[in-house]
Structure formats: structure tokens, C-alpha cells
Amino acid sequence: MHNLIQLSIIVLLLPLLSFVLLIFFNRKLPRNGDFLGVGFLAATFGLSAWIFWDVVVVNYDPSFRVAWDFTWIDFGDVPGVGPLQIKMGIFIDNLTAIMLAMVSLISLLVHVYSTGYMSGDKYYGRYFAYLGIFTFSMLGIVLSDNLFAIYIFWELVGLSSYLLIGFFFEKDSAADAQKKAFLTNRVGDIGMWLGILILYSQFHTFGYEEIFQHIKAGDFHMSQAWLTAAGVLLFMGCVGKSAQFPLHAWLPDAMEGPTPVSALIHAATMVAAGVYFVARIFVILTVDALHVIAFIGAITAFMAATIAITQHDIKRVLAYSTVSQLGYMVLGLGVGAYSAALFHLLTHAFFKACLFLGSGAIIHAMHHEQDMRWMGGLAKKMPWTFVTFTIATLALAGLPLTSGFMSKDAILAGALGFAEAEGGGIYFLIPVLGFFSAMLTAFYMGRQIWLVFFGESRTHLKPADSHDDHHGHDEHGHVHEVPWAMRLPLVILAALSVFAVYSPDPLDGAKGWFMHLVPTPETVVAADMGADREDLHKEVVSDVADTGHDGADITQGDSQHKEEHLTEAVAAHGEDSGSGQGHHGDDGHGGSTGHGHDTGHDAAHGEEHHGPVFSDPRQAAIAHAAHENHDHAIMYSSIMVALGIGLALIVYAFRFIDPDKTAQRIRPLYLYSFNKWYWDEIYDATVIKGSLLISKILAWFDSNIVDGIVNGVGALVRKFGTFSGGFDTYVVDGLVNFTAFFVQTSGAAMKKLQTGKVQTYLVLALVAVTGYIIYYFVQLVS
């Protein structure tokens, strides 16, 4: 066994041990055992850091990987399949090592922070136990080498999320939120599970590597649509866990959990697990599946950003911001900007954890006040929090010199490149939504900073009736900086939001170690498996034609294809663009040598800056276009961010525009945003009410119809019983009785004949003989 594997097994088991010890013994330990939780996590982080050092720093090899597995379940010699084993194992590559370090670092910081934030809670020890099982499950997701294992840890993460969201379970809102989170995630999970089943049914294995190799070898015997379905269904797991549209509604409610939990689970790690999972299966995603993913990501990013701008609760703004940023990551994967998306996952984890812990510090200092309308002027009172929060905000908004700038820019460049390579049209919606969301992000974060830290304190403005807290008004005066246990994590996380950690060039993340070590992998879905895509081509081309986009900037010339017959247009478009669309066509492989040349050129070009050479023409084209668009992306996104911040300053700092009056003026839009696009209401009216109605109907059906029939049959049998009983008594028994009666009466009549007296017999004989003689003579006479 490789020593990294041994280390990683210890890393995985330490938090589990922490959970087991704390759940049983927390009440018996001093300080309810928080030192155990922190200690175990410190060890976990230490070993993870060791793995990170070994893999990322010492080896520094983009293709680094070690794997190990063991037989978990042995099915024996299965008829029709042969020997069948279900294996479990560990897989470590650069991404794993980086995630391992990230997760354990943030988990450690949250543990430390929680010793301050949660102190005095009734279930203080249990809290650390739950953090332990969460960390265990999350590390399990990261280390798994197969779909079955990741599904197991996936659900365990869901369990720990359930436990932690509902940590204050005596509050009904917390109990509602935890149930909502678990059930919404399960909806996503059934999709993921079906995706796993599709792949298993083909290959009788759950292992990533085996599945990839089988697909590469063309062993997938169902139709192409099933492979697309598998990809989209697996992605559904991500939609649930990473709170993508339309299963996003649970995440903002999950803010009912303690704030450090929001930082760890609902911002930095668990919700990113969906993105991580899609990255793991990235290579088997078909083009159609990728398109679905890209659109879902773009819609999510945009929708959540529009909601975030009107929320009052400091954590809800951050929650919607998380949803929006996760949308970016998913969008990034969908457009093929794999490295960029994962880079954003990493940078986002740090700055968003910083923001949440910062908001926790504010809430803690403000005595559980979460409404930004009653904050203000905290910059002077909480300087450490202010500075770290601001750095993280700049990173989230995507200002230069921050980590967020590099990663977001890389995704947006990828989106631009993707839209170009796919032929524009509707695909341009994706970068457009991305850039627009960037502006919204800058706006709502500017708003938040201003409302919380600047101006005068507005605590006294809070209407008394909405004051649902135990603390009196006067207490709010004593706002003070948080203790060091809470301050230190903020500083560390803020430091990790600076560009220099990731790349020497503040404008280009691609020059940094992350994007070099986590290169976009080559798809295993053979290009000709996209051969059925003619319909889509038509669509794309007709879109291009419809919108009057002559494709000049894409196809470098030839604009005649508009006049051509549609089918030919497909081919022509593909060939001319040299962008890979045509390579998926029926004649894709028979394309002109020009293709090969172009592709080769693109690839070579890509190699120079991006690392991998793609033999898949579509990937090569996108990578090339993304690279070409890098500078555009920087320019556009800078403009958008400047617009957003400027607007926030105009509204909240200089007060040129009154936000309340504006809200009144655009009231329907405002309400639409404020009420979160009414998704909760929609789901409540349809899915929840519908399910309850069906359950009521079926329960009625069961006790009245199904059981009614049973009871009816029973009653019928009883009736028949009564009838046959009656028949028995009156007819059958009656016959018997009648016979007896007949015999009896006739016997009684007859017995009179049998007197036993000889004289009577003689008389009778005489009468008989006389009678006979008389009869005889009468015969003779006549």
C-alpha cells in the first residue's frame, strides 16, 4: 500500500473517531470534549497537509495518481456475469490532494472558531460530534474511487447536514429547514442513483476508472441517449447538493443552522461536493449533457444573484451568493472550463468561508441580530472583522488582485469561448448571464459592506414589535470585536483570498499552480458517439441564421452557408468553423485535411498556455476559443464589476438614489426578487400539497375500497353462512326431520295394526279374503 493511501485512510478515520467518542462521551469529558474535536481535526489537517505537500509541492506532476482498493462485497460466480465483486477504494490525484487540504483546513478553522461561537450552548459537545461526522463524510466523497462509495458518503453528508441544520431543533423553522434540505437532496439523489444504475447495468462495476475505460472502448451498448441521460441524471445529484436551479430552495433555509456550520457545509465544502462530483465524471459527459449543465449553471448564477440584491438577512444574502457562485462553477464545467470551475471551487471555499465566519462574528457581536437594516457603523467597532470581511468581499465580487478575480475570469473566458465554438446564438446566453451576474454580485456585496460596516448604527431603528430576541435594546450598544479563537480563522481565510497564493500573475490564473496541476481531462465519449446530433446542429445553425449572426467572427469568412440547404449548412458550418461542431457530424472524421491542420494548430496553441493537448476536436476548439477570449473576459467582467460597485456606492454610500423609493417604483420586480422568485410557494402548492393530497386519497382508498372489499367479502361470506345455515336448518334438516316425522306418523298409524291379538289378525285375514273374492266376481261379471 502506498504510504499516501495509508495516510489518507488515517485522515478519513480520525474525524469519524472524533464523532464516535464525542457522541457517546461528550457529557463526561471536560469542556464537553471540544478539545478532542479540535485535536482530531488538527491531526487530520496535519496529515492532509502532508499529503498536499507530497503530491502538489514535491511531485508537481499534472498526471499524478495513486489508487488502492479492496473487495467489499463478493457476489461469487454470478450466472451470466461471472465472478462479481464490489470494490471500495481510494483514489488520490492532484485534485484529491488539494480538496483534502482545503476541506480539512476549513473544517479545522471552523472547529476552532466554534469553540468561541458555540460556547455555552446546551448541546455544545454534540455539536462537535456532528462536525466530526460531517468532516468524515466529506473526506469520503473526496477520496472515493467509485460511484457506490461516493453515493454512500454523499448521503452521509446529507445526514450530517440534516443534523447540523436542525441543531437548534427546538425551533420549528430549524426543524422545517432540516427536513426540507434532506428531502430536496434526496430528489437529486434519486437522479444520481439512476445515473449510477445506468452505468452499472452496462459494466457491472462502480469504479470510475473501469467505467471510463469501458466507455472509451465503446462497451456502452445502450443508445447514445442513455449515456446523455446517465450524465444528466448523475448531474442531478449535483443539482440537489450544490443547490442548483430548480432544487436550490433548501440552501437559504439551511441558514437556520449555526453560522460556523453555514460556513463549513453550506458554503465551502458540502455544497461544492456537487461540483467536485461532476468534475469526477466529467469525461463521460456527452455534449448534450454538458449543454444542460451549462444552462442550469447559468440560470442558477443569474437567478440567485437577482434574489440576493433584495434580502435583508446578512446570512441569506451570503446564501444566495453561494448559490450563485455554485452556478458559476457548474456553468464552468458545462462549458468545458474544467480547471477554471474547480479553481473557483477552491477560491470560493476560502473567501466564502471567511464571509460566513465574518457574518457569524457580526451576529455574535450584535447579540443574534441578523437583519442588515439594523446594523451599520461596525467598521470601527470590529476592525479585524471589517478588514477580513472586505478582502473576502472583494474576492467574491471579483476585483483584481484577489483569488476570486482569477477564477471567475477563467470561467467567464471559458463561457465566451464555448459560446463561440458552439456557434453562438442561444449559447451566448451563458456568458451574458455570467457577466450580468458578475455585476449583480458586485452590487449586492457592495450593498452588504455598506449596510453593515459604514454609516451610523441603526440598532435603535429596529421596530420593537419585530424584536423576537431575548436581549434588550440596551445590550446592543456593547458591540465588541470577537475573541481570538474566532478572529484567527478570519485572518487565515482572508489571507487565502489573495492572488499570490495561487498564481504569480494577478490577471491570469492559468499561469498558477492550480490550473497547471488540475488540467481539463480528455473526454472518453468518442466523437462519433455524438453522431446523432444532427438535430442540434440544425437548431444551432438555424439559430445563427435567424438571428442574422453570419458567423463571420466564428467561421472566419464564408458567409454563404446561410443560403445553403440546411443539412448542407450543418456540414459547412462545421467545416468552416473548424471548431469541432462539424467533427461530430456524420462526415466528421472524413473531414478535410484542413480540419486536422486547424485542430492541430489549435491544440498546439492550447498547449502553449493551457497544458493538455485535446484529441477531441470540440474540446480543443473550446480551449482555443477560451484562450483567445481571455482578455475580453477580463475587460467585460471588470466593466461589469465596476458598474456593480459603482451602483452600490451611488445607492448606499452617496445616497443619490433612495433604495426604498426605487423598490416602490419597480414594486413587482422588487417583490419577485424579495420573494425569491416565489419558488417556495410554487413547490408548496404543487409538490408538497400534491403529495399530501395523493397520500390522503390513497389512504382513504386503502381503508375504504381495498379493505372495504375484504370486509365486503367477509360480510358476503357471513350472509352466505346465514343463508346456508338457514337452508341447513329449514331445508336440509327439515328434510331429515320430515322424513323422521313421516316415518313417525305413518309408523304411529301402522302400529295400530300391530296389536298382537290373534283375533284381530283373523278378522283382518277374513276381511282380505272376502275382499279378494268380491273383486274376483266383479271381474267375472263385467
Partner 1 sequence: MLSLIVFLPILAGLIILAVPSSQKQIIRIVTLLAALGQGILAVLIWQGYDPSLPGITASADGSLDGSFQFVERLPWITLDLGTFGTLNIEYFLGVDGLSITMVLLTALISIIGVLSSWTISKQVKGYFILYNLLSTAMMGCFVALDFFLFYVFWELMLLPMYFLIGIWGGPNREYAAIKFFLYTLFGSVFMLLVMIGLYFSVIDPATGNHTFSLVAMASQENYIAGSIFGPESVFWRYAAFIVLFIGFAIKVPMFPFHTWLPDAHVEAPTPISVILAGVLLKLGTYGMMRINFPFFPEVFQASLYVIGVFGVINIIYGAFCALAQSDLKKLVAYSSISHMGYVLLGLAANNSEGMIGALYQMFNHGTITAMLFLLVGVIYDRAHTRQIDKFGGLASYMPVYAGIVTVAWFASLGLPGLSGFISEAFVFVGAFSAEVTRNLAIVSVLGIVFGAAYLLWSLQRMFLGKRKPDAVYELQKDAEGNEIIHFHDWKGKNDLDGRELAMLVPLAAIVIILGIYPMPVLGMITSSINKLVEVLSPVVLTALN
Contacts 24+ apart (CB under 8 A), 646-653: 647/439, 647/443, 647/446, 648/442, 648/443, 648/444, 648/445, 648/446, 648/447, 648/450, 649/446, 649/450, 651/447, 652/446, 652/447, 652/450, 652/451, 653/450, 653/454
Q: Shortest distance, CB of residue 118 to partner 1, whole angstroms?
A: 18
Q: Shortest distance, CB of residue 271 to partner 1, whole angstroms?
A: 19
Q: Which is nearer to partner 1, 35 or 148 (CB)?
A: 148
Q: Which is nearer to partner 1, 604 or 715 (CB)?
A: 715
3-class state of residue 63 by DSSP? coil
Q: Which is nearer to partner 1, 592 or 704 (CB)?
A: 704
Q: Shortest distance, CB of residue 516 to partner 1, whole angstroms?
A: 36
Backbone phi, then psi, for 78, in 5-degree steps?
-80, 130
Q: Shortest distance, CB of residue 584 to partner 1, whole angstroms?
A: 28
Q: Which is nearer to partner 1, 61 or 707 (CB)?
A: 707
Angle between helices 270-280 and 224-241 (to 10 degrees): 160
Where are the strands (E) in 415-543, listed by range?
none
Q: Which is nearer to partner 1, 698 or 750 (CB)?
A: 698
Q: Shortest distance, CB of residue 198 to partner 1, whole angstroms?
A: 7
Q: Which is nearer to partner 1, 688 or 765 (CB)?
A: 688
Backbone phi, then psi, for 219, in 5-degree steps?
-85, 0
Where are the strands (E) in 548-675, listed by range?
none
Give the C-alpha separation, 249 to 679, whole Å: 7
Q: Which is nearer to partner 1, 124 or 436 (CB)?
A: 124
Give the C-alpha separation, 124 to 127, whole Å: 5
Report the half-sphere exposure of 434 (CA within 13 A, side-chain side): 38
Q: Shortest distance, CB of residue 545 to partner 1, whole angstroms?
A: 38
Residue with cell 437577482: 306
**Nearest one of 252, 387, 256 to 326, comparing CA atoms:** 252
> Using an 8 Å Cβ cutoff, are 584 and 530 in contact?
yes
**Nearest one of 269, 248, 239, 257 to 177, comparing CA atoms:** 257
Q: Shortest distance, CB of residue 691 to partner 1, whole angstroms?
A: 7
Burial (0-12, 13-18, 19+ Cβ within 10 Å), 599: buried
Where are the strands (E) in 215-373, listed by range?
none
In three-state form (DSSP H/G/I as H, E/B as E, the rest C), the secondary structure along 73-98 is EEEEEECCCEEEEEEEEEEEEHHHHH
Q: Which is nearer to partner 1, 166 or 591 (CB)?
A: 166
Burial (0-12, 13-18, 19+ Cβ within 10 Å), 138: buried
Q: Shortest distance, CB of residue 155 to partner 1, whole angstroms?
A: 5
> Helix, strand, coil % (nearest 5) of the chain?
75, 5, 20
Q: Shortest distance, CB of residue 125 to partner 1, whole angstroms?
A: 12
**Number of Cβ atoms within 10 Å of the Cβ of 197:** 13
Q: Shortest distance, CB of residue 201 to partner 1, whole angstroms?
A: 4
Q: Which is nearer to partner 1, 66 or 175 (CB)?
A: 175
Q: Which is nearer to partner 1, 7 or 187 (CB)?
A: 187
> Using an 8 Å Cβ cutoff, are 265 and 159 in contact?
no
Q: Shortest distance, CB of residue 619 to partner 1, whole angstroms?
A: 31
Interacting residue ranges for partner 1, rule: CB under 8 A:
72-81, 84, 148, 151-156, 159, 166, 169-172, 174-176, 179, 182-183, 186-187, 189-190, 193-194, 197-198, 200-201, 204, 691-692, 694-696, 698-699, 702-703, 706-707, 709-710, 714
Q: Which is nearer to partner 1, 284 or 394 (CB)?
A: 284
